[in-house]
Amino acid sequence: MNKKANTIIFILAATVFNVLITMICFLLLIAIYSQFFFPILPQDSIAWALPVIFILAIVAAIFIYRALIKLLVKKVDMEKYFDPIFKRKQPLRRS
């Protein structure tokens, strides 16, 4: 495969991985909430808890994803296998 195909496959796989991390974080936070907070809070507290848990899951997934990508960048020479997504623009020439 060439660099462009590697880049596309990497982006798709990273997106799926990020969604999976978010879902796992969401399910873990729901489990923690139901185990520790649901019994002591009023029953209608789930109305505000779900959006808060969802936002916390997204934030946690972002931090996990960033840490894993930084680790990958340190271990793998990205320029060797992947095409740059954004290419530098040529500087304007003044005549």
Whether residue 88 lies inside any domain: the answer is no
**Rg value, the chain, Cα:** 20
pTM: 0.76
Q: Domain residues for 54?
A: 3-81
Q: Please give the Cα distance from 38 to 5 (Å, whole number).
A: 47
Q: Give residue 76's pLDDT.
A: 80
Q: Give residue 89's pLDDT.
A: 67
- Per-residue pLDDT reduced to its tens digit, 19-77: 999 999 999 999 998 888 777 777 777 788 899 999 999 999 999 999 998 998 888 87
Q: Please give the Cα distance from 6 to 76 (Å, whole number).
A: 13
Whether residue 24 lies inside any domain: the answer is yes
Give the count of domains, the chain.
1
Question: If you ran DSSP here, which 8-state letter would residue 83 be given?
Answer: -
Whether residue 93 lies inside any domain: the answer is no
Whether residue 11 lies inside any domain: the answer is yes
Name, in order, each residue with C-beta under 8 angstroms of 7's C-beta and a sequence gap of 6 or more.
Answer: 82, 83, 85
**CB distance 56 to 30 below 8 Å:** no
Token pair recorded at residue 2: 């060439």
Token pair recorded at residue 35: 């185990």
Q: Give residue 92's pLDDT.
A: 64
Whether residue 87 lies inside any domain: the answer is no
